[in-house]
Structure 1
Amino acid sequence: MKLTQLEQELERARQQGVYTREHSGDSFLGSSGAVDSGIAAFEMEYGHWVEEQNRHTCELRAALHAHVSDLELRILVESGMRHYDELFRIKALAAKSDVFYLMSGMWKTSAEQFFIWIGGFRPSEILKVLTPQLDPLTEQQFMAVYNLQQSSQQAEDALSQGLDKLQQTLAETITSVPLGTSNMENYMGLMTNAMGKLEALISFVNQADHLRHQTLQQMYRILTTRQAARGLLTIGDYFQRLRALSFLWAARPRELA
């Protein structure tokens, strides 16, 4: 079965309610359990985004196989880059609606969730997937990609450490009043303080998406048009395979208890 067929089967399964998320029975539920119109809109837009990415991946594959001109390829590549711009735009809106939902990866398939990092892919990991598919690279390109991978890894580490610090600070905040006490005024005060600290999560998601966005744009500047087309095809294929794997995993035979 081809990947595009698996994608179609997955979409049909979702619509029929056969494919369910591991963390929620209703894909439009926010982290509070209530229907969130912002998240419902995001899921619809993201579904369309995936469909468009699949179509674009097919177009890139056909264009590369047909050895079309660099001008024709550039049009496809620029369209693909704008498509990722759109993804980061709708994610920024979703983060304002329910940042926990976005960070959890509930909008992704199960195999994609396995690789989730602050609401998306790790830029350094995508570079590891991409680089072997881009040969031959010139020495200058190789060094530029290597430096980009190092800087991406450093930025990821800094964000991860910041998130760890936020978790520690949040835990300290909600336990600043002794546990087991019944003073409602103190309780509400510390919860208000904790709520303020949670607002920082939106900033973490936005910074992580900015890093993802910048990594894609810098790779685009480093590569030739034909290499950039191969790169976008590689990314599209990679996520398409993860989604197909998720479908196959969900549809696997289960042994009866």
Structure 2
Amino acid sequence: MGNKMQVIARHMEPLTEQQAAGMYDVQRWAQEREEALDRELQATYRSLSDTVSSDALISPYPDTAAYMAHMSLAISNLSSLEAFVRQADALRLQTLHRLPQVLTARQAARCFLAVADYSQRLRALSSLWLARPRQDQPNPPGAGARLFHP
């Protein structure tokens, strides 16, 4: 959210000193929460990776009790990932709700339009990335040269 705030700020009218300080506070607040969520996400990924790669799941003749315990832990970790997504979404909404407290109605409107434009560009980039030809996939006949290289 921090980099997004800088991109958005460029699209707004000049800010008063008080507004600039308020925007900085919102940015710092969001960044602190992003970092906390990132640490939580990394810990969850490590735990899920450790659980899934456990010998109890790999063994050709797994101990049923150990297998079930590890599967339960893996499912719990997946639930934690789902909760993480909800927390990240809540953080975005909280950040957006804080902006009108700092900005005028016109500035907030321009800010929200910039956020929408920024998000649309990210979605388009993501779609292009997902649709890119991959090395493990042969080019279809008549496709010509690749536009993107992974």
TM, length-normalised to structure 1: 0.46
> Cα distance, 1:161 vs. partner?
0.7
Select the residue among 35, 40, 51 that pairs with 1:162: 40
- The structural deviation recorded for 1:229 is 1.4
Aligned to 2:62: 183
Q: CA contact under 8 A between 2:37 and 2:84: conserved in structure 1?
A: yes
Report the equivalent of 1:212: 92
Q: Which residue of 1 aligns with 2:112?
A: 232
**Structure 1 position 126 matched with structure 2 position 4:** yes
Specify which of 50, 54, 68 is matched with residue 172 of structure 1. Answer: 50
Give the conservation status (yes or no) of the 8 Å contact 2:57–2:70: no
Q: Compute the displacement of 1:148 (Å).
A: 1.1
User: Letter of the aligned partner of 1:190 in structure 2?
Assistant: H
Query: What SS is found at the alignment partner of 1:169?
Result: helix
Once the two structures are TM-superposed, the CA of residue 248 in structure 1 deviates from its matched residue by 7.6
Contact 1:176/1:190 (<8 A) preserved: no
1:120-167 per-residue CA deviation (whole Å, 9 max, x = no partner) reads xxx223211111112310100000101111111111111011111111
- How many residue pairs are counted as aligned between the two chains? 133
Distance change in 2, residues 1:194/1:239 (3 Å): closer
CA distance in 2, matches of 1:154, 1:176: 37
Give CA-to-partner distance per residue, 1:8-63, whole Å, 9 cap, x none: xxxxxxxxxxxxxxxxxxxxxxxxxxxxxxxxxxxxxxxxxxxxxxxxxxxxxxxx
Shift of 1:209: 0.7
Deviation at 1:254, TM superposition (A): 4.1
Structure 1 distance, partners of 2:144, 2:7, is 32
- Written as runs of structure 1 = structure 2, the 5 A alignment for 1:92-171 is 123-171=1-49
Where 2:56 maps in the other structure, the secondary structure is: coil
Alignment CA distance shift 1:204-1:246 (3 Å)? closer
Equivalence for 2:79: 199
Larger Rg: 2
User: Equivalents in 1 of 2:6, 2:45: separation in Å?
Assistant: 29
Change in Cα spacing, 1:194 to 1:241, as seen in structure 2 (3 Å) is: closer
Q: What stretches of structure 1 of length at least 5 have no aligned partner? A: 1-122
Give the alignment's TM-score, normalised by structure 2. 0.74
Identity of aligned residues (%): 39
Question: What secondary structure sits across from 2:120 in the alignment?
Answer: helix
Please give the per-residue CA displacement for 1:141-199, whole angstroms capped at 9, x wherever unaligned. Answer: 00010111111111111101111111122233331637435124022331122212321
Q: CA shift at 1:201, angstroms?
A: 1.3
Shift of 1:242: 4.2
Task: Give the alignment of 1:71-110 within 5 angstroms.
Answer: none
SS of the aligned residue for 2:145 comes to: coil
Q: Distance in 2 between matches of 1:178 and 1:234?
A: 48
